Homo-oligomer: A and B are copies of this chain.
């Protein structure tokens, strides 16, 4: 294993370590539940310089667990398992894996107390089967669970690490961030900070972005590694130094230089979403936002309502499928809808204006269009979308033509609207106190 002191370079000591994730659960294989653990753990590891090598989803049955765990344990350096630690007879992870590891299960009095305390705190009676969760492999450590009864388990054996986590996301996620990542970092198995410096751009294509930044990159040659990742109208650019020639402060400085060159095309440093960046700008300027949408069906509103504390800047949203709703809720004139139709620049402007005025908001976004599967008239086929922006300086519309299936059209229309608002907010506040925020790279 790698010693902790090699940990200060900008590259992960874990480049050559094999990480595997085993997700347990019939409900995953039956398609009843999406495998959010892969998305969460994969991205968390990636940010610390670890590329997850494999994720295996298996059933809850003991032979399947034993077979898969034996194979993975023989090949991997770090194994993370999720699920199967609960109180019911379906929960077999602890027992089966202890046996493969050749460890006895022992009753842990501290774990018993934590479980009993939790039931007492919630004023509920603890059934006998809950005590199953107080057993641990004899050489395992407990990872306390602040949000549930089953503690996580941490095992170091034969130069390898095994980490068993409970299945519910609200239990697993804080346990992973607060306990597992620091333990892995302490052992030098991943970085104790982000593995790369990320710039996130919006509204500029991958090749245009590369062309714009190439003169900066050229100065550093092989010392600088650049990775682009494009997703629905955004392009992320990740800077790292494969040979450790560039320190983290140097990478930061290069990112800042890129950011200055990109100007408005820079959305943020780090991992924030478009809605988060726009929301932070609104909050900083003490402004509010309203939204109005048709075919995107609430997707634009939910970008904001998913943000904790959004009520500080988000006044509300209207999903108006039929013209009556547009007229009644947003004061769109009937004659405008008759003359120009609901998918028109005129209606995008009217919806944005109506949303801002009705909800007493400083800014408003509107999206109206044909997202499929049914298209509009020839001049407005599927993917023909109008977005509207209302601001204290005026109100405008823009036409988009987005190729692809319904889900792509919806997501890109929403992102285009969010980016337009973001640019308007950056422009308005430029020179004032607000600039795109630097995210902590802790």
Contact = CB atoms under 8 A, between A and B. Distances in A.
A383 interface: no
Nearest to A330: B329
Nearest to A304: B297
Given A38-B31, A298-B305, A306-B297, A315 B311 contact: no
Contacts of A246: none
Interface string A59-91: 100001000100000000000000000000000
Given A31-B46, A298-B301, A328-B359, A316 B322 contact: yes
Count of identical protomers in the assembly: 2
A318 B321 contact: no
A315 B322 contact: yes
Interface in A222-272: 229, 231
Interface in A22-71: 26, 28-36, 38-44, 46, 51-59, 64, 68
A310 interface: yes
B229 A358 contact: no
A370 to B, nearest CB: 12
A308 interface: yes
Interface residues of A, number: 68
B38 A57 contact: yes
3 tightest CB-CB pairs across the interface, nearest first? A297-B305, A31-B43, A31-B42
A5 to B, nearest CB: 28
Contact of A32 (B32, B51, B231): B231
B53 A64 contact: yes
B315 A318 contact: no
Contact of A359 (B32, B43, B51, B325): B325
A175 interface: no
Contacts of A28: 38, 42, 55
B51 A59 contact: yes
A320 interface: yes
A281 interface: no
Nearest to A328: B358
A154 interface: no
Interface string A265-304: 0000000000000000000000010100001011101101
A51 B59 CA distance: 9
Contact of A56 (B52, B54, B314): B54
A405 B299 CA distance: 22
